[in-house]
Structures are given as structure tokens and as C-alpha cells.
Amino acid sequence: MNQQEEQLKDTVEAIRVFLPQLIQACSKLERMFYGPITNELWSELGEVVEGIDDLYRTLTSICDETKEYMDIHTGLTIENAINSISEYFQSMNQCVDAKNYVGASDHLKYELQSVFQQLSNCLGPSSIIREQQYEANMSFLKQFYPKVHTHLEAVTVDQQHYRVIYSKHGFPNLLLHEEGHDVLLYSQYDPMNEAQWWADRLASKVESKLNIMIYGLGLGYHLQQYAQAYPNHQLSIYEPDEQILLAGMSAIDLKTLFESCNVTDFVVGENKSLRDRMFFRFLKYMKGDPEIIAISVYDKLKSLDKETFSNDAQYAIVNYYSSLRMYNKYGLEWATNSMNNLAVTLATPSISGMKNKLEGMTAVIVGAGPSLEIDIEYVRELKKHAVIIAAGTTIQSLLHFGVVPHLIVSMDGSEANYNAFKDLSINHIPFLFTPMVKYKIMDEREENLFHVHFTSDVITKGIMALTEKDPIFTTNQSVTGTAIQAAIYMGCTEIVFTGQDLSYPLDQIYASGARHVSDEIKDLTIKSAVLTVENVKGGLNRTNNSLKTTLADIEELLGKNPQIPYVNTSENGAKIKHTVWEPMDKVVARLSNNIAIPDDFLIKQIRDLEGYDERRIRSIRATVYQLPEELKECEQLLRRIDQSIEKVQGLSITHPQKAYQAFLSIDKDWRVVVDSTVFNSLYLMIMRNDLSAFERDLPELANELNLINKSKLIRELMQPLVHKMLEYCPSIMEIVEEAKQRVESRAK
């Protein structure tokens, strides 16, 4: 900021301070004109005239500079004020000279004071008031939204492109300088009216909803009007541009705004990880169907990528509902797998010993898409110079063509996955598994095994007491994601995809050799694939929601690991973000000069890996051995909770004190249950959806103080959960007894 700008800033600040004083003096003088004409009146008139003259001269001197150094809107307001002051001041003086004091009062009250007030509105409050408001807002964020506060503290305020100005009615507005143009965020007259119109227009879309995510906070007008229209809605607010918030914090009161609205979450900035976690929280705790809306003013801003936000939100919703369905369908099966695989997991090394062991190597992750047939001979040639990784059931197609990969990765816990593996002779091929893989596959494997854990595997996490030192991978939609993470973890410096079509090019599903899907299912899959996705040649391939979600999941994983180049060689497959397309023959030619890789190099490395130390194994075994007794204790507590719930409704009417004690007893017993290993491993896996729903509803139960209402709520919200947990007790007992037997057998 140069000296001229500094002087302008100081002058404008002086005007801000002076205007309220001048308005007050004018208000006093215009009333005096209706009384006797005294020396006091002439004295007051002299001071007002002098003040108006000083203001007029000062405004005239800074008008052009304001347009140049501040903004055109403020400059035009000052220019209009100069013209109006000149006209109305002259008219007032003429009335005074003509002794028309009522007329002078009218000019002063209805014209000059109005000009001064509009000018004061336009310039806004003093810098001291603005600084105090900013600090108050930062204190509020630090107390209630500490992550937002921490994020904002690290951001430099951009006063050049984001400037708060004020409407003619005194409402704060935001002027953004974007791509050489000025953009006003709101109406120059009444932003509240604009926001109210927006909220009213949403009625048919949101009236029946309860949980709403709003894209954009701006200066809060839309949030305020929405909350007034729908006071019971729970609102998650996402502000993509921290500069908008930073600029607005000197002009609006966040504490008052948020206290008047039912805000449950607030995230700021374009960090995708924070945004994704917000989506997860929003979906986890919502009741009914979600609704995501955007404040209309953000359509003006080219710098904000609302389309990406919308796509991410849609992906999160599809992924969330997919997860619900998967846990309903496979929760018990996954729990069985993790428990039955505990013995083999303890007996094999983890991938941790392979950290960065493949540094400098290229990994070729092979899928079973139709394009694999085109590239199979290249894959055979690449095996000499790159690490060939078979993604799950792709091993069928590779063996069909006589190609033996260096590594198989498998994580699918379904019976279909076992059917794909059961007749294959693959014990000689290194095999990376997750404990959630179908246990029958592991029952038939004895050697060349190592494992990795999943973030979603709460059973292994709990029973094995995993720490940050243990290798834990993000759970992906497909085994390809696990293979990618493994290649990165082991230090590969390039990843090539082949057969990863992630769509149905030419209406085909798999390459030859895939035997785990019948022709009937293949035909049905193609017929139901009514969506499309862009392919590597710019055309469109048929796809479905499942494959689109898988593609988005892989793209997200690649985006989180930008340090590695990714090459897509599929001839006809889907275009994959964060990859470059390169024909397979060029890849082979490029890698042909790499050092030759022996067929058994990975086998030798795996055999040298260290397993878990004996002390840890003994501790884990002890945990497994006590699970049956712990489950019996949980079952007894659950039955006691159920009995207490049955009694509490009657007691709440006849014996309130006994009802209160019953609630305390229920809470005490429930805490013992939820602190148990059985709950934090098996129940969390098997009944994930039910427990999430209960967690969502728990605040309603906890906050209800009326004992009669509380007794009704506990029967409605908690008792069905307790009944379902009791129903699962026999199945869980079978699982833990089998796991105990397997672990004991391995220990001998």
C-alpha cells in the first residue's frame, strides 16, 4: 500500500467517525428550527454548516482516488453525495436567508440527513468496530469450530480481491474482483429480501426434509432466512472459499447468526479430505433422505467449482447407501471371515516388512477387463521387467493365458470369490490378503502368504489391538484399490494399469478365462448397464452405478497419491483421472531396458519377513480365548437391560424415583456392554447400520428429561436394538468358538 492509499484510508476512516456526529448535530438543529430563533440556534447552525462544508471539501478531494484505490461503487456513492450535498445545502441556506425555518428544517431532515446516512451506510462502521467484530468471530470459531479456526489462522487475508462494502440500507455486501471484473455477492439494496425469495422458492424441495447441507455461507443472509423458514432443519454448512469468510468476519456476527440457526456442522476451504468427512458425518447422522442445496449467489463466482462439490456429494451418497446395503448383506459373513482368519493372520507376516522394498520398480496391476486379451502378450513380456500384480479373480484369466503373476492380491469376503479361487493351483504364487477375505480361500493356502489390514475391519483392529505401526489400508470399492495401495506401500515408482476397463467396452464384461460369472448373469449385467462413461478414445462405454462408484473410488485414491505416475493402457476402457494413456507396446519398449526381475524374487522376500513377536501373539490369543465368556456376560447384561426397559414405563408413572434409578441401571449396564471387546469388534461389524442409527438417535433420548417421554423413547429407540443384539448372540457364539478352536489349533 503506497502513501497515497494510506492517506486515503485514514481520510475515509475519519469520515466514518465524523458522519454519526454530523447526523446527530443535524437532528438536533432541525428540531430547533421549530422553536424560537435564539443565539444557540445560530451557534448550532454555524457548527453544522462548517461541518457540512468540511465534509463536502473532503469528499471532493478523495472522490477520484476512491474510485481508483478502493472500488467504483464507493466512489460513485461519494460522487452522488457530493452532488446532493451541493444541491440540498444551497436550498437549505436559501430557506434560512428567507427566514423560512420550517423549510430549512425539512431540507436538513429529509434531504441532507438522508444523504449523510446513506454515505455512512456505504462506508460502514469504523475500523475499531470491524476489528473487534473480527476478533469476536475468531473467538467463537476457536470455541465451537476449532478446526475452522486453525485453518483460518494459517490463511493470509486477500484484501485486494475481497472487499466488504455496504448497501444503501447499511447491509454488508461483498465485492469480489474476479478475472478482471468486479462481482457483487448480493443486491445493492436489500440482500435479506433476495435471500428470503431464495428460501421461499425452496419450499417444495425441502419442506419434508430434516437434514440439509448448504453449499456456501457468504455473509449469512441465506442461512438466516432459511433458518427462519425452516427452524427445525438441521443444517451442515460448507463454505468453499475461506477468503469470503475472512472478509465477512469483520462485518457479520457469526455467534448470533449460528445461535439463531440449527447448525450441526461447519467446514471451510477446498480440502477434499475435510469435505469428505463432512459428507460422512452428514449422512451418518441424518434422518430420512438428505438434501443438498446451494445459495444462488455462488453461481456468479467462476472460481468456485460447484460441479466438483456436487459430484463428490453424489458419490458420497451413492457410496454411503452402498455401504449400508453391503453391511446388511455381508456384515455377518465379514465378521466370520475376520474371526476365522485370525489364526492364519497371526501365523503370517504383515506387509510392513515390505515397506519400500520394491523401490524403483514398475508395478503392472492387471484387471480382468476385455482389453486384457489384447494386451496379454505384452503382459507376458513385461513380467521380465516389472512386477505383475493380479487384482483378485483376474488370476483366472492370467492362468488361462499361461501368465503367472508375481503377486495375487485378494480382499473379497464373498462366497463368489472363493468359487473363483477354489480350483486354482496357486500355492506357489505370493498371496497378499486381508483378514476379511473369504476364509475358505485361506484354509487352502499354506505358504507364500502375507497380509494387510483394512480400516473397516473393526474385528481385527480390536482383537489384535492394531496401532499406527501396523499397516492399515483404506478400504476400497474393489481389489484394484488394495493392489494400488500395496504397490505404493512397497515403493513402486510407477503403476501401469492393464485390463482395468472399469466399464463394459463393446458390451463385454471380462476377458477369457473368467469362470466365476455365468453367461446368464453376464447378459443381465449388460442389459442393466444403462449409464455411460467416457472411454480412453473419447467415446462412451456402458456402465452401471457400481462400476462408476468403483472408478470414482480409484480416481480418489490416485489423487491422494500424486507422487507416482499412473499409466492406463486399456485399448477401450474408461478414462481414469490422474492417469496418462499410453499404448502397451510403448510401455513394453520403454521398460525393456529395466533390470530383469527373477520370477521368484518376491517369494524370497516374503520368506524373509518377520512375523508378530511371541508376546503379542500370546496377548491376542488370550483376548480370543476370553471372548466366549465375555459374550455370555454381554448377553446377561442385555437381558437385564431389556427387563429394565420393560419395567421403566410403568415406573415412570407410578414411582418416578424408581424409574430414575432404572435409567441409571440401564446406562451402567450399557456402558459395560459397549466397552467390551465383543461389542467393539463383532457387534460393530455385524450390526454397524443398527448401531449407527442408534448413535444418531441417542442425543434425543439422552436430552429428554420427562421420565414418561423418556420411557417411551427408550422402548422405541433402544429396545429393538437390544433384541436384535440378543438374536445375534447364538451366531456370534458360534463364530467366537470356531475362532478360538482355530487359534488353539495353530498354537499347538
Q: What are phi and psi of 498, to 5 degrees?
A: -135, 145
Residue 488 has pLDDT above 90, yes or no: yes
Helix (H, G, I), strand (E, B) or coil at 108: helix
Q: pLDDT for 233-280, tens place per residue?
A: 999 999 999 999 999 999 999 999 999 999 999 999 988 888 888 998
Identify the band that residue 519 occupies on the pLDDT scale cut at 50, 70 and 90.
low
**pLDDT tens, 168-201?**
778 899 988 877 788 888 888 889 999 999 999 9
**Rounded CA separation 86/53 (Å):** 9
- CA dist 353 → 365, 456, 597 (Å): 21, 22, 20
Residue 612, pLDDT above cutoff 80: yes
In which element (H, E) is residue 463 found?
helix 458-463
Rounded average pLDDT over 596-623 = 94
324/342 Cα distance (integer angstroms) = 25
Which three cell numbers mark 678? 465383543
Beta bridge partners of 263: 235
Task: Classify the phi-psi angles of 427: left when phi > 0, otherwise alpha if psi is within -120 to 50, otherwise beta.
Answer: alpha
- Listed range (114-118, 606-610, 675-679) with the worst mean pLDDT: 114-118
pLDDT (0 to 100) of residue 680 = 95
- Look at residue 126 in the predicted model and tell me its pLDDT: 85
Confidence band, pLDDT 50/70/90 cuts, at residue 500: very high
Residue 525 is predicted with a pLDDT of 67
Averaged pLDDT for residues 561-570 = 96
Q: How far is CA 195 from its chain centroid? A: 26
Work out the pLDDT band at 301, boundaries 50, 70, 90: confident
644/436 Cα distance (integer angstroms): 37
What are the grid coordinates assigned to 509, written together?
A: 464384461
Task: Yes or no: say if 343 and 742 are a contact pair by the CB < 8 Å rule.
Answer: yes
pLDDT for 594 equals 86
Taking the alpha carbons of 438, 441, 446, 452 in that order, is the dihedral positive or negative?
negative
Integer distance in angstroms from the first to the last C-alpha of the chain? 79
**Whole-number pLDDT of residue 509:** 66
pLDDT tens-place string over residues 451-478: 999 999 999 999 999 999 999 999 999 9
Mean pLDDT of 306-333: 86
Rounded to the nearest integer, the mean pLDDT of the chain is: 91
* Residue 520 reports pLDDT greater than 80: no
The arithmetic mean of pLDDT across residues 335-339, rounded, is 97
Regarding predicted confidence, which is higher, 102 or 167? 102
pLDDT value, residue 521:
63
- CA–CA gap between residue 658 and residue 212 (Å, rounded): 40
Alpha-carbon gap, residue 234 to 227, rounded angstroms: 9
Strand order in the sheet with 263-268: 263-268, 234-239, 211-215, 291-294
Q: Is the pLDDT of residue 420 over 60?
A: yes
Confidence bin at 546 (pLDDT 50/70/90): confident
| pLDDT attached to residue 392 | 95
Average pLDDT over residues 16-32: 91
Beta-bridge partner residues of 164:
174
Residue 2 is predicted with a pLDDT of 73
Q: Amino acid identity of 406?
A: H
Could you report the per-residue pLDDT of 721-748, keeping only the tens digit for each? 999 999 999 999 999 999 999 999 988 7
Arithmetic mean of pLDDT, 483-498: 98
Q: Flag the least confident range among 317-321, 562-566, 664-668.
A: 317-321
Q: Which residues of 271-306 are buried (b: 16+ CB within 10 A; e: fewer)?
A: eeeebbebbeebbebbeeebbbbbbebbeebeebee
Q: Which residues contact 367 (CB under 8 A, 6 or more apart)?
A: 391, 394, 480, 497, 498, 499, 500, 501, 502
Query: Which of 147-151, 184-188, 355-359, 529-533 bottoms out in mean pLDDT, i.e. has the lowest?
Result: 529-533
User: In a 3-state reduction of DSSP, which class is residue 10?
Assistant: helix
Contacts of 622 (CB under 8 A, 6+ apart): none
pLDDT of residue 484: 98
- Binning pLDDT at 50, 70 and 90, where does residue 300 land? confident
pLDDT in tens, 692-721: 888 888 888 888 888 888 889 999 999 999
pLDDT confidence bin for 1, thresholds 50/70/90: low
> What pLDDT score does 677 carry?
96
Task: Give the whole-number percent of the chain exceeding pLDDT 90.
Answer: 63
pLDDT for 26 equals: 92
pLDDT of residue 442: 96
pLDDT per residue over 107-162, tens digit each?
Answer: 999 999 988 888 888 888 888 999 999 999 999 999 999 999 999 999 999 988 89
pLDDT mean over 207-233: 92
In whole angstroms, give the CA distance from residue 409 to residue 394: 10
Q: Is it the case that residue 213 has pLDDT exceeding 60? A: yes
- CA proximity to 712, closest of 637, 640, 659, 657: 659
